[in-house]
Amino acid sequence: MKKMLEELYQLQGKTAVVTGAGRGIGLAVADLLAAAGARIVVADILANEAEAAAAEIRRNGGEALAVTVDIAEETAVKQLYAQAAQHFSSVDVLVHCAAIFPKYPLLQITVEQWDRVQAVNLRGTMLVMREAIAQMRKGGRGGAIVNISSVSGEREVVFHNAAYGASKAGMTNLTRAAALEFGSDNIRVNAVLPGGTATPGAAEASAKMRAAGYELKGPMVHPGRIPLGAMGTPQDIAAACLFLASPAARYITGQCLAVDGGFLIS
């Protein structure tokens, strides 16, 4: 029974591309998937952070390749997968964590600001999924994709977050569309919807908002709105990603799992 339990969560012999893996949720995902036996492509726009994350995985006995990529750029995403295939020969898992989340009041947001959020969060999702699916179909072994969407794609949780929320709603829809279209290729596509999660990026976004004179307010920060009583950690999100990427979830696709301490039911 113990061996069967271990096999349910093993990724030995699999190659996992993890975007946004230089820090925060992506870093926690990369570390956990490496511990489960996967070879990791550490993809991030932050070159130094990506190299450091890959080096740490290798020091811990795993295999990792760092690739610097802006996921909003089609050529860069294609190059990411070309490097992954060249280095590890296959792509079996994608956990897509990369995103930006600047906060802008809706009446003040510029077209350029809006377009950049959609370019990274929504077009970037399409690009990394499209190329991953192409690699998985070529390999003929199926695969698993886990997108890090957000509870913000389900409902507005803090003020000044319309651009981000719209991008994440689109990401959740893309998840379901791909799950339906590529299930016959044994490619599973699911999403994890974090609630409030303590990451360096979230702290930076909040600090920039306060520096711009905007108050941090909205349902997420109301007392009692999180039934479990605390913000999540990157490791909480990574655990859900491992489950959805692993053989334990072999009959699950098109699902969007909220990891939010109960916020969406409050």
Tokens of 72: 């909003």
- 13, two tokens: 């012999």
* Cα–Cα distance measured from residue 152 to residue 195, given in angstroms and rounded to the nearest whole number: 8
Encoded amino acid at 88, one letter: F
C-alpha to C-alpha distances, 56 to 50, 171, 231, 236, nearest whole angstrom:
10, 30, 26, 20
In angstroms, the Cα distances linking 38 to 32, 50, 211, 233, 242 are 9, 17, 41, 22, 11
User: How far apart are the C-alpha atoms of 251 and 247, rounded to whole Å?
Assistant: 9
Instruction: Provide the CA 249 distance to its chain's centre, in angstroms.
Output: 17
Q: Which two tokens stand for residue 185?
A: 């290729």
Q: Which active-site residues does the annotation give? A: 164
Ramachandran quadrant class, 14 (left: phi over 0; alpha: psi -120 to 50; beta: rest): beta
List all residues 6 or more positions away from 208 whose beta carbon is below 8 Å from its beta carbon: 102, 103
* Amino acid letter, residue 74: E
- CA dist 218 to 48, 161, 166, 221, 254, Å? 35, 10, 17, 6, 29
Residue pair 31/58 in contact by the 8 Å Cβ criterion: no
